[in-house]
Structure 1
């Protein structure tokens, strides 16, 4: 039998928009890794259009841009996670960790009450 797992989703809402959440954090990490929205999207099996929409939503919801793009040319375009974007990503990952730690004891107790499958 596999051990019970906790899957926690932290999302930051701005009005009705998801300003930031696990998927957007993963996208920022992929952009940092690849230097490109297109390559980040490919690495996540996501369409470029969807990745661009997520980047646009993040940039619209926060005071400053989280991602800046450079248009293509002889050397091609690219994207960079701004210093502000890196700060948001770091704070978000800290929040996720703190939220998980805050409920760990209750989860441990509750998971002990789950029916075991044989």
Structure 2
């Protein structure tokens, strides 16, 4: 029967087959790239290092960080100017809460869709057939 659900282990969330993006009413978009940038700024303490880890220029990373700060009523990232003590960037308490909440939403989405994604993968052709 073609629509039989294959047996699977539902204890693991779906892998990176589903990416979510939230389009806010103010026109802002929060998706996996911005969430990953927040995570890496938190880890590295630097917009430059976070951007480099994502393979993007400092300018691109800085523009995305600035956009994230303008998306909400509170900033997500604060920066310190360079100099003898060095510069850097840190997540604000709101930025940390935003990152945690976005990561939790991602887990919920993957868990909710795990069974359906397993079924789709089981039903997918080994390769995409060329048009006839």
TM-score band, normalised by the shorter chain?
Answer: 0.7 to 0.9
- Pair member with larger Rg: 2
Q: Residues 56, 6 of structure 1: CA spacing in aligned structure 2 closer, same or farther, 3 A cutoff? A: closer
**Larger relative contact order (CA 8 Å, sep ≥ 6):** 2
Question: TM-score if structure 2 supplies the norm length?
Answer: 0.77
Gaps in structure 1 of 5+ consecutive residues: none
Q: Structure 1, residues 33-87: CA drift from partner, whole Å, max 9, x if none?
A: 1111111112221101110111111110111110000111221211001111011
Gaps in structure 2 of 5+ consecutive residues: 1-14, 128-132
Which consecutive segments of 4 or more residues in structure 1 shift more than 3 A? none
Q: Equivalent residue of 1:39, what SS? A: helix
Residue 12 of structure 1 deviates from its aligned partner by 1.9
Larger helix fraction of residues:
1
Question: TM-score if structure 1 supplies the norm length?
Answer: 0.86
Counterpart for residue 79 of structure 2: 69
